[in-house]
Amino acid sequence: MAATLYIDGAWKQASDGGAHDVHSPHDQRVVATVSQATESDVLDAITAARTSFDSGVFTSWSFAERSALVSKIADLLERDLKVIAKKESDDTGKRIIEAEYDIADVVATFRHFAALGVKEHDRKVDVGLAHVSSRIVHEPLGVASLIGPWNYPLLQIAWKVAPALVAGCSFIVKPSELTPQSAIALMHLIEEAGTPKGVANLILGPGSVVGTSLISDPRIDMVSFTGGLNTGQTIMKAAVATVKRLALELGGKNPHIIFADADVDAAIDNAVTAAFLHSGQVCSAGTRLIVERSIHDRVVNEIVRRAANIRLGGPEDLAAETGPLISKSHLEGVTRYVEKGIAEGATLLIGGKRSEMPEHADGWYFLPTVLDNCTTKMFCVQEESFGPVMTVEVFDTEAEAIALGNDTVFGLSGGLWSNDVAKAARVASALRHGTIWVNDFGPYRPQAEWGGYKQSGIGRELGEHGLSEYLEIKHIWTNNAPSKSGWFSDDKRGED
């Protein structure tokens, strides 16, 4: 087995020789066997990151030099795009074409941060005193743990690694144990591009085994995490003792509002995509449909017809439109979620169970599902299933649509459809979510900030703010005509 941990500039096996198999969600075959780090490997990785940071080996590079490195990694990613996409498709079960789109987005992320790095970050401050020069400078934050999920494995890691490199941080990457292969490939490219030893480190294994030190060790300055709410809460608790900076992206339950005055055909088509793309395993999936009562039947009947036609299939199935769920336990969780919705009074219109097609027998395929007659207090409306399950609620007034759209502890994203420009602007402003799409659902660009209100997380990735997360801000005040402060008396009385 190849050595797959990357610690202090060297590829290593786990210190106890431990390894685990990665299984395809499509047919359960073993697609890779990778090292599973021990606690002592994790501590070695933290030591390497801390030592490299404190030595100045990378922080001494200018922003322009680090941007050039990130740009070079983008070139290497582009060179290896198909190979990496195949690995990601093996791990996630998603179609190769989708994985290729994702790796193209990874390249775009690296290019965005490389371009941002060469912009001027520091600034002069006019403090109103001729003899004082005052400057705000930006410095690398320190050592970061970068922990990623399994739905968009390399993309979510890229949103963290690219800005961390531009900023000059040292870091430890930990991808999901279910999808480690693309992170291993990225680490090879980071090495090939000439990153100094110890700056980038890779730890593999389940969070419950290798995560504790990554989120609590005092030598870690920051944890950037994308994953479930419960894990996010665990990370916040662990970060308290040493007041670590946190960047958390914890998913959402995203409202998708259709007004009767919208282009309803376009809205329906986008609603199908929003809910069922990647079988709903998308943090910004539009799985909570909120539709004006007068068009409910037209919209829902058409969505159900479309859902029935969605073709499920594995990586190599050219006719497939979406793939399996990530694991058996996730499939079981989504099944229970639908059962609970029905028990609470929702009406199952389609799906609600595992695919029974013979070609899906070995995979974790769940049918596109629509639950109608939902109300806001139901578990299935409030909680994220992270599967292909759309819930439907109705409204009569604009105020009701806004209230429903905001009746959630999450706040990652939301969409609305209306041809009334003023109404669309009012609703977009009233919805408390980090991204709002008007007459659209789903697109994002690395140039625009991404992140959540409320329990969807803390901080923002991408955009300009996505780099700021990895920087400290320092104010340097220089008095060019030093003089006494004169605050306390320098009277010599009492010295005799």
Contact 88, 157 (CB under 8 A): no
How many residues are given for the chain?
496
Is 454 an interacting residue with respect to ligand TXE (CB under 6 A)? no
Contact 134, 124 (CB under 8 A): yes
* The pair of three-digit structure tokens given for residue 55, joined into one six-digit string: 């030595």
Segment (H or E) for 270: helix 264-276
Segment (H or E) for 123: strand 123-125
Sequence-ordered list of residues with C-beta below 8 angstroms from that of 329, at least 6 positions apart, any chain: none
249 labelled catalytic: yes
Is 215 an interacting residue with respect to ligand TXE (CB under 6 A)? yes
Amino acid identity for residue 266 in this structure: A
User: Which of the ranges 146-154, 263-271, 370-378, 427-435 carries the binding residues for ligand TXE, by CB under 6 A?
Assistant: 146-154
Catalytic residue among 88, 169, 177, 283: 283
Query: In the stretch 281-300, what mask flags binding to ligand TXE with x, by CB under 6 A?
Result: --x-----------------
Segment (H or E) for 11: strand 10-12
Catalytic residue among 98, 177, 249, 461: 249
204 vs 291, which CB is nearer to ligand TXE? 204
Task: Quote the least distance from Cβ 214 to ligand TXE, whole Å.
Answer: 6
Query: In the stretch 312-331, what mask flags binding to ligand TXE with x, by CB under 6 A?
Result: --------------------
Among 176, 224, 413, 468, binds ligand TXE (CB under 6 A): 176
| Kind of pairing between the strands at 255-258 and 457-458 | unpaired
Q: Would you tell me the crossing angle of helices 421-430 and 398-406 to the nearest 10 degrees?
A: 30
Segment (H or E) for 143: strand 143-147
Separation of alpha carbons 205 and 186, rounded Å? 17
283 labelled catalytic: yes
Contact 368, 351 (CB under 8 A): yes
19 vs 260, which CB is nearer to ligand TXE? 19
198 vs 252, which CB is nearer to ligand TXE? 252
Query: In the stretch 36-75, what mask flags binding to ligand TXE with x, by CB under 6 A?
Result: ----------------------------------------
Contact 428, 422 (CB under 8 A): no
User: Which of the ranges 103-111, 184-192, 208-216, 422-430 carries the binding residues for ligand TXE, by CB under 6 A?
Assistant: 208-216
Phi, psi (5° rounding) for residue 377?
-85, -10
Task: Quote the least distance from Cβ 23 to ligand TXE, whole Å.
Answer: 14
User: Which of the ranges 112-120, 189-197, 247-255, 418-426 carries the binding residues for ligand TXE, by CB under 6 A?
Assistant: 247-255
Positions marked catalytic:
249, 283
Q: Which residues of the chain form contacts with ligand TXE (CB under 6 A)? A: 147-151, 174, 176-177, 206-208, 211, 214-215, 226-228, 231, 234, 249-251, 283, 384, 386
